[in-house]
Each structure stands twice: as structure tokens, then as C-alpha cells.
Amino acid sequence: MKKIVTALTIVCIIIAQSFTNQVLADELPQFLAYQSPIGIVVEAKGNGKITRFNKSVISISKGEKLYRGDSLKIAKGSKVVIECYNNNNKKWNIPQNTLVAVHNGCAPIQLPQVEVL
């Protein structure tokens, strides 16, 4: 009886571990996409805010890296230009008084597919 319980416990642990590995492998590319910059602020005149994926808010400044999941709101009379890394370094003038998601104007990073063994 003790051997059967031990064997079933081992089987359950193996199944749970393989499920956990699959979940981590599925979520890893998405997590990495939010950690890699997709653009940078190359010009910032006036006022504006960056809302990060984690909901923190910072003022826009030249040289600030932008990530997938970031959004920008530029005050009226301000000018902000960002350069996208994955779109042939395209420069994008951010419209005033409009909430803009950075990944809508800058192509997201294409991550390699992860194969689970």
C-alpha cells in the first residue's frame, strides 16, 4: 500500500511539474516583450506623461525608453517625437490631448518561439 501511495504521489508531482513548465513557457515570450524597449523619446517639449504597463506614471523626457504596454498622453501645446526600434527607426509625432499606446505605432519585438521539451 505504501508503495502505491508513493508511486501515485510521484506521478502527480511529475504531471504538476510538466503543467507548470508549459504555463511558464507560454507566458515567457509575453513577459519578455514587456521588458524590451520598442522605442525611445527623441524630442520632448512641454508636458506629457508616460503610463507604464505596471500603472506607474512618469513625466516624458528626452531619452526615455518606451516599452510595449506603455501609453502616452501629451498636453496641448506640447511636442513629443518617439523613434521606433522595430520599424526601420520610424519617427512618430505623438498627437496632443490623445492617449496613445506605444505598441500601436511601434511594431512589437518579434521573439523567437520557445519549444518545450
The reply to whether 113 falls in a domain is no
Q: Note down the domain range covering 17.
A: 1-33
DSSP state of 97: T
Is-contact 44 60, C-beta < 8 A? yes
At residue 15, what is the residue type?
I
Q: What is the pLDDT of residues 9-35, one digit of tens each?
A: 776 566 656 555 444 444 555 555 567
Q: Say whether both 21 and 61 belong to one domain.
A: no
Tens digit of each residue's pLDDT (9 = 90 or more) over 36-53: 888 999 999 999 999 998
Smallest Cα–Cα separation from 47: which of 75, 66, 73, 28?
75
Indicate whether 64 pLDDT > 80: yes
**pLDDT at 95 exceeding the cut of 50:** yes
State how many domains the chain has: 2
Same domain, 12 and 54: no
Q: Which amino acid is at 97?
A: N
Domain presence at residue 48: yes
CA-closest candidate to residue 47, choices 24, 72, 23: 72
pTM: 0.63
